[in-house]
Amino acid sequence: MKTFTLVIQDPTQVTQFDNVMSFVGEDASGSFGIRAGHARFMTALQLGLSRFKQDEQASDSRWLYLGTSSALLDFRENQLTISTQHFLVDSDYQTISRSLQEIMRKEAEQLTEQKQSFRHIEEEVLKRVWELNRNKAD
């Protein structure tokens, strides 16, 4: 059976899997699958888990799970490239699911902190503008 190469990259690392037979992911339109020879394809993966399987001739041919918070997928010339901020790969669904939930929780906390910081900055800027306008009127 024909295979393709899967390259997963984030800002700190690049991981390559050779002899991939199948990839299953989900985008805004629903679940989809990719096999070797697929037409050029680009999409944004939904938050969550995708899975892929390497050649059955390989020593470990079970499904591997890929966890991403969001990702851009590009398939061309028999290479699937996935670019994301963070990724996890594991053969155990429960382990990767828990790890992905923890990453999502931390990202949500960081987002909340950033929003609070922006609100504080906005309040300080508005306060300063109000003071400047008040001093100008006097």
Point out which residues pair with 35 in neighbouring strands.
22
Whether residue 59 is predicted with pLDDT greater than 70 in this model: the reply is no
Residue-wise pLDDT for 66-88, tens only, equals 999 889 999 999 999 999 988 99
State whether the Cα torsion 32-35-41-47 is positive or negative.
positive
For the segment 13-35, the average pLDDT, to the nearest whole number, is 95
What distance in Å separates the CA atoms of residue 14 and residue 70, rounded to the nearest whole number?
Answer: 16
51 touches 66 (CB < 8 A) = yes
Query: Is the model more confident about 63 or about 62?
Result: 63
pTM of the model: 0.75
What distance in Å separates the CA atoms of residue 108 and residue 125, rounded to the nearest whole number?
Answer: 26
| Domain over 4-137 is classified CATH 2.60.15.10 | yes
What pLDDT, on a 0 to 100 scale, did the predictor assign at position 43?
A: 97
